[in-house]
Chains A and B, each alone.
Chain A
Amino acid sequence: KQEVTQIPAALSVPEGENLVLNCSFTDSAIYNLQWFRQDPGKGLTSLLLIQSSQREQTSGRLNASLDKSSGRSTLYIAASQPGDSATYLCAVSHTGTASKLTFGTGTRLQVTL
């Protein structure tokens, strides 16, 4: 059974810092990996999707990398802002059951002024 782990569980940084969120998964037979953002009381917003054949994806200040063989992904946020405060979730879809996402428990990020 696929298990997805995210560390740290919570993180507080001052505005302007660069930061890295980590995601690991136990079964490397994934179809793709997605990073989502969740704000309190709201649904999930997709940030980046990396296909299993890709190594990284970039969108603005966000960069996500994928090392499928080692079962790891990182989300890099450059020049953090208070508006980045949210919970960040990674999720993998598995080869053969590509429709189903398995989520980690998330990293709760707070960016302070």
Chain B
Amino acid sequence: GAGVSQSPRYKVAKRGQDVALRCDPISGHVSLFWYQQALGQGPEFLTYFQNEAQLDKSGLPSDRFFAERPEGSVSTLKIQRTQQEDSAVYLCASSPRQGTDTQYFGPGTRLTVL
């Protein structure tokens, strides 16, 4: 079956632009996660959804970052007024039930802010 997909795979933005990153989880998966991975580092947690409810957004680095999952399936991570330090790979993961299950990761979106 289809895995987690993310689009776009690569995004180049000028500093100050807004960007939107999309995640399509595995069909039927209840939980969805966003992580940020800087070059040479491990992924860092950003936010977690159970269905459409955002249960944990403690990892979002600033109020420029916003995530939504309005119908409990597709999710969008939006970054407003991008800055160079936002350059990273943004990974999305989903899991079948609650967040303690194995997480299945997408290929990521590489964001470069110039």
Q: Measuring CB to CB, which residues of chain A are less than 8 angstroms from any residue of chain B?
A: 4, 31-32, 34, 36, 41-46, 49, 89, 91, 93, 97-106
Contact = CB atoms under 8 A, between A and B. Distances in A.
A105 to B, nearest CB: 5
14 contacts: A34-B102, A43-B4, A43-B93, A43-B108, A44-B93, A44-B105, A46-B103, A89-B43, A91-B42, A97-B56, A100-B58, A100-B99, A101-B103, A103-B35
B41 interface: yes
Contacts, number: 65
Contacts of B55: 99
Contact of A43 (B44, B48, B91): B91
B102 A100 contact: no
A34 B4 CA distance: 19
A99 B105 contact: no
B62 interface: no
Interface residues on B, range: 20 to 34
A49 B102 contact: yes
Nearest to B110: A41
Given A97-B56, A99-B56, A43 B42 contact: no
B90 to A, nearest CB: 11
